[in-house]
């Protein structure tokens, strides 16, 4: 038996932390239903801002609220506004890897689903285990809208990835000309 990813909420934003609650993570049931996460299910939570990693169980909050609230001791690991990855897992036999397709949801800053993906493991004559991400849909449109673009930070990131100033200027002028 292997422990594998069954569902993942990637980049969901913490909307609250309640130290005096009984423990758990409160999530919008509409989001959970889309990912296949059920109440009382244990999940792993990885804080992208602090690096903290915890495990707790899910309870459902108000439908449509887009809530993601850490409760009890877990509230000490995150702050409102932190982005986290929430991962539901299960144990399977290795041959089942080819049969499952875990759901992965990504989020915008308001906890709306930005993209729906599935992880797929497949076999080829060259390799027994191959992996791909199958992008299924972008509920909020095919293109992401950039808000509050920090051009200097974007240019610095492109420079750190090996682009020279001329290439950076070309990229920015082609793709961000509406901001000029």
Q: Quick check: 146 pLDDT over 70?
A: no
Q: How confident is the model at residue 10 (pLDDT cuts 50, 70, 90)?
A: very high
Alpha carbon distances (Å) from 140 to 7, 10, 106, 115, 145: 21, 16, 12, 8, 10
Q: What is the mean pLDDT of residues 23-51?
A: 96
Size (the chain), residues: 180
Q: Which residues pair with 44 in a beta bridge?
A: 55, 87
Q: How confident is the model at residue 129 (pLDDT cuts 50, 70, 90)?
A: very high
Pairing between β-strand 24-27 and β-strand 130-137 as defined by DSSP bridges: unpaired
pLDDT of the residue at 178: 46
Helix (H, G, I), strand (E, B) or coil at 13: strand
pLDDT of the residue at 100: 95
Q: What is the pLDDT of residues 83-115, one digit of tens each?
A: 999 999 999 999 999 999 999 999 999 999 999
Q: DSSP class of residue 73?
A: G
pLDDT of the residue at 145: 56
Q: How confident is the model at residue 141 (pLDDT cuts 50, 70, 90)?
A: low
- Is 180 annotated as belonging to a binding site? no
Q: Which residues pair with 41 in a beta bridge?
A: none
Distance CA(118)–CA(35), nearest Å, equals: 10
Q: How confident is the model at residue 151 (pLDDT cuts 50, 70, 90)?
A: confident
pLDDT of the residue at 155: 82
Domain residue spans in the chain? 2-137, 146-180
Distance CA(36)–CA(112), nearest Å, equals: 16
Query: Right CATH number for 2-137 from 3.40.50.970, 2.40.40.20, 1.10.10.10, 2.40.30.10?
Result: 2.40.40.20
Whether 57 is a known active-site residue: answer yes
Q: How confident is the model at residue 33 (pLDDT cuts 50, 70, 90)?
A: very high
Q: Quick check: 51 pLDDT over 90?
A: yes
Alpha carbon distances (Å) from 113 to 80, 82, 124, 161: 19, 17, 32, 28
Alpha carbon distances (Å) from 81 to 41, 70, 84, 85, 125: 24, 12, 9, 13, 46
Q: Quick check: 6 pLDDT over 80?
A: yes
- Is 162 annotated as belonging to a binding site? no
Catalytic: which of 55, 57, 122, 173?
57
In 3D space, the residue among 103, 101, 97 whose CA is nearest the CA of residue 123 turns out to be 97
Element (H, E) at 55: strand 53-60
Q: Quick check: 1 pLDDT over 90?
A: yes
Distance CA(49)–CA(108), nearest Å, equals: 16
Q: What is the pLDDT of residues 59-69, one digit of tens each?
A: 999 999 999 99
């Amino acid at each position: 038996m292997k422990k594998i990813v069954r569902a993942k909420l990637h980049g969901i934003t913490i909307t609250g932390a309640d130290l005096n609650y009984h423990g758990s993570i409160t999530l919008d049931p509409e989001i959970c239903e889309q990912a296949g996460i059920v109440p009382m299910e244990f999940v792993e939570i990885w804080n992208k801002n602090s690096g903290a990693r915890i495990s707790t169980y899910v309870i459902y909050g108000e439908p449509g609220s887009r809530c993601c609230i850490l409760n009890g001791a877990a509230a000490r690991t995150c702050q409102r506004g932190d982005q986290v990855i929430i991962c539901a897992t299960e144990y399977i036999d290795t041959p089942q890897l080819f049969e499952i397709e875990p759901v992965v949801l990504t989020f915008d800053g308001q906890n709306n689903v930005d993209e729906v993906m599935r992880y797929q493991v497949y076999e080829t004559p060259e390799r027994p285990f191959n992996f791909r991400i199958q992008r299924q849909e972008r509920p909020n449109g095919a293109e992401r809208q950039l808000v509050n673009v920090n051009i200097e930070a974007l240019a610095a990131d492109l420079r750190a990835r090996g682009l020279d100033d001329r290439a950076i200027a070309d990229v920015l002028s082609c793709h961000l000309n509406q901001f000029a």
